[in-house]
Amino acid sequence: MIKPIVVSGIRPTGYLHLGNYYGAVRNFLRMQEDYNCYFFIADIHSLTTHPTPENLQAGVKQVLAEYLACGIDPEKSTIFIQSDVPEVCELYTFLNMNAYLGELERTTSFKEKARKQPENVNAGLLTYPVLMAADIIIHKAEFVPVGKDQEQNLEMARKFAGRFNRMYKQEVFPIPRPFTFDGGDMIKVPGLDGSGKMGKSEGNGVFLYEDPKEIRKKVMRAVTDAGPTEPNSKKTEPVENLFTLLKIVSTPDVVDHFEKAYNSCEIRYGDLKKQLAEDIIAVTAPIRERILEILKDDAYLAQVARIGAEKARESAVRTLQEVKEVIGFKRLF
Ligand code: TRP
């Protein structure tokens, strides 16, 4: 049986935190067992914010090392750097001819980015969903594992794929679908600041590369409350969040212990935090060690990127040939 194709792009900005790990990365690890996965680092997309060459390079290297350290396996998946597969830019150009100003201007991600960087509302920002569509359909992907924030971009990719097929009256592209496990949602990891979910820009995250000392410091500073005054009282959001984190990284008996302590008003948040920090460290320390090791090994990183690019290009070149044929670019000589 041919394995369905999954494509996912990873922005080379920032570092992986626990939220990314339990949200996206662990799903990638499961997916690569059963699907033909293409994971790539979206370095062309990242140009919309005008990084310096040094930052671009460092960002790409860091994410590559971090994903490898988490267990994305270049033998099982195709892991590559977007700019190593220039065919995607060609498809992007073709798709742009059928992408309309109105629909691009209406996407929430465009409006949001235009608001965030009013001094740099460039055409790349506007056509970001077109390049993303090209990333996906150039491999004829059937599934795209995306979070809520990317739903609309994926909807655009479906639209562009369908539009191309209809325009040329051929089923060149499968219509990609969002991927969720067992029909369920991803685990939501809360931050340490007592509200919302863990995020890079929120400044409430624990990062995989952080050393145990930093992690202990961060967790010990996490927001709590004055403590329960009545047995079995409802938890406030900050405390609920710490329990949610504990459920993610600790064993059920540890969770149970602190639940009981909370319900009998005997809980000491300091103890809970100490335990939480150690259990987070148990999860992250081995990954951190691998990140540091891989970052030192430029030859290995280069080899992974080269093999990934070869595999991705094979598939991209094949699709592009078909696309050009369908469009009507016939060879005259
Ligand atoms: N837009 C995605 C993000 O910001 C990154 C991305 C680029 C992507 N191309 C993609 C995701 C293709 C999935 C498929 O996270």
- CA-wise closest residue to 205 among 184, 222, 181: 222
Q: What is the pLDDT of residue 186?
A: 63
CA distances, 43 to each of 50, 107, 234, 327 (Å): 11, 21, 45, 28
- CA-wise closest residue to 283 among 10, 77, 25: 25
Segment 271-277 shows an average pLDDT of 97
CA of 236 to the centre of ligand 1 (A): 35
Domains and CATH numbers, the chain: 5-188+298-327 (3.40.50.620), 212-292 (1.10.240.10)
- Residue 12: which residues within 8 A CB-CB, separation 6 or more? 41, 42, 43, 46, 56, 59, 60, 62, 63
Is the separation of the CB atoms in 176 and 157 below 8 Å?
yes
Q: Does the annotation count 113 as an active-site position? A: yes
The three-point CA angle 248-148-101 to 5° equals 160
Segment 252-264 shows an average pLDDT of 97
* Residue ranges of E strands in the chain: 5-10, 36-41, 78-81, 143-144, 177-178
Give the Cβ contact number of residue 252 at 10 Å.
9
Residue pLDDT, tens place only, 91-104: 999 999 999 999 99
Identify the active-site residue in 159, 188, 200, 324.
Answer: 200
Structure tokens of 223? 């927001």
pTM of structure: 0.93
Task: Let me know if 109 is exposed, middle or buried by CB neighbors in 10 A (0-12, 13-18, 19+).
Answer: middle
Confidence of residue 182 (pLDDT cuts 50, 70, 90): low
Q: Determine whether the shortest distance from the Cβ of 135 to ligand 1 is under 6 A.
A: yes
pLDDT of residue 184 exceeding 70: no
Question: What share of the chain has pLDDT > 90, as a percent?
Answer: 89
Is the separation of the CB atoms in 164 and 322 below 8 Å?
no
Q: Does the annotation count 274 as an active-site position? A: no
Residue pLDDT, tens place only, 211-249: 999 999 999 999 999 999 999 999 999 999 999 999 999
CA of 299 to the centre of ligand 1 (A): 27
Identify the active-site residue in 76, 159, 188, 197.
Answer: 197
Q: What is the pLDDT of residue 183?
A: 53
Q: Determine whether the shortest distance from the Cβ of 9 to ligand 1 is under 6 A.
A: yes
Segment 54-63 shows an average pLDDT of 97
Confidence of residue 180 (pLDDT cuts 50, 70, 90): confident
Classify each residue of 293-330 as buried b or exposed e, where b means 16 or more C-beta atoms within 10 Å of its C-beta.
ebbeeeeebeebbeebbebbbebbeebbeebeebeeee
Segment 176-188 shows an average pLDDT of 75
Q: Determine whether the shortest distance from the Cβ of 154 to ligand 1 is under 6 A.
A: no
- DSSP type of residue 77: S
- CA-wise closest residue to 63 among 6, 7, 16, 8: 16
Determine which of 133-142, 184-193, 206-215 has the lowest per-residue pLDDT on average.
184-193
Amino acid found at 252: P
Ligand 1 atom, smallest distance to 135 CA? 12
CA of 147 to the centre of ligand 1 (A): 10
Q: Tell me the β-bridge partners of 9.
A: 40
Q: Does the annotation count 148 as an active-site position? A: no
> For the chain, what is the mean pLDDT?
94
Segment 264-269 shows an average pLDDT of 96
CA distances, 39 to each of 195, 199, 280 (Å): 31, 21, 26
Segment 101-123 shows an average pLDDT of 96
pLDDT of residue 195 exceeding 90: no
Helix (H) or strand (E) holding 316: helix 298-327
